[in-house]
Chains A and B, each alone.
Chain A
């Protein structure tokens, strides 16, 4: 006869852990909350701080959930819990957007994962591109104050931590090509289709088609 560890009721520890995480987020013990969201572009990981949405990641394209969370843990704080309730607003606006019922996001954003200089100005320039419209890397670089820094603008857009909401997908190559996208070009095409900005295949811009 021996002292065995007590048996657990299946699922009980997981349920308690979920309750603990929700409490940690509600009571402000955990600064950062995340949720996994499913939508037409696949699984997204949404991460919020008290200031706002700080990260929206295509889960598979960014190395999986753990890689996404670890990056935020290193950059901001490891005090991160899964608390879907804290991301309800993000989920709702994204659902409306994918359903074609929302053209602008009203979510508060946290720029904590973006440097304060040119990169942030580039992303803010991207936010200024209206739904249904597109711009070019060159123009966005210009709006951010350095018309010739279109490659740097491309890099800043490529590492946009809040895609979809910060619409880097609306920025295309000056040659009329799609350029690149953090979630893959198929998703960029799909987002532009949702917004009625392009028919998917070879995208041409009205006033800017050929350099």
Chain B
């Protein structure tokens, strides 16, 4: 494409992906505000963007920065009650649970160190490649893979779709 799509088309094309990522990265409570901040920031920078940019990775990079802002702000105030889960899920060898428990997993991902949290949300909630994640986090692809693997180890989740080359 030799020109940027009208912003509304871009917003409509990526709104679901961005919201899914933010719900995973900051929780439903803060996702709505972060969503609006993400797209308003994107709009402010939109005209200067190269038309051949990877728009999806670009907007998820902005969403990732907004998620960092939320986590930083949270470090300065108590967690909202809704974010606390009643029973801390036990990591490890239980039988597979249904998707209803996914919220618990993302709660636990959010409690991980910053880079592990970022890599896991970008990989599994936003479906970015490790290469795209490395660009987003400004680190090497190897570092991104390592952070993912460390995060997963911490969670002691056996993911069925870990890339074989990870």
Contacts and interface: CB of A to CB of B under 8 A. Distances in A.
Interface of A: 1-8, 12-14, 16-17, 19-21, 23-24, 27, 29-30, 34, 66, 69-70, 72-74, 77-82
Given A19-B36, A29-B44, A5 B7 contact: no
B157 interface: yes
Interface of B: 3-9, 11-12, 15-16, 18-21, 23-24, 32, 35-36, 39-40, 43-44, 46-47, 96-97, 99, 102-103, 105-106, 109, 120, 124-127, 157-161
Instruction: Classify the interface of chain B: helix, strand, loop or mixed.
Output: helix
A6 B4 contact: no
Contacts of A14: 15
Contacts, number: 114
Given A1-B96, A2-B159, A16-B15, A69 B8 contact: yes
Contact of B159 (A3, A5, A81, A82): A3
A73 B2 CA distance: 12
Contact of A13 (B19, B46, B120, B159): B19
Nearest to B49: A78
A79 B125 contact: no
Contacts of B5: 70, 73, 78
Contacts of B23: 6, 8
Given A1-B158, A3-B120, A8-B23, 10 more contacts: A1-B159, A3-B109, A6-B20, A7-B99, A13-B19, A21-B11, A29-B40, A30-B43, A66-B6, A81-B8
B47 A78 contact: yes
Given A13-B16, A24-B43, A29-B44, A3 B7 contact: no
A69 to B, nearest CB: 4
Most buried by A among B39, B44, B105, B160: B39
Contacts of B96: 1
A8 B11 contact: no
Nearest to B108: A3
Given A21-B11, A81-B8, A82-B8, A4 B102 contact: yes
A80 B9 CA distance: 9
Contacts of B32: 16
A16 B7 contact: no
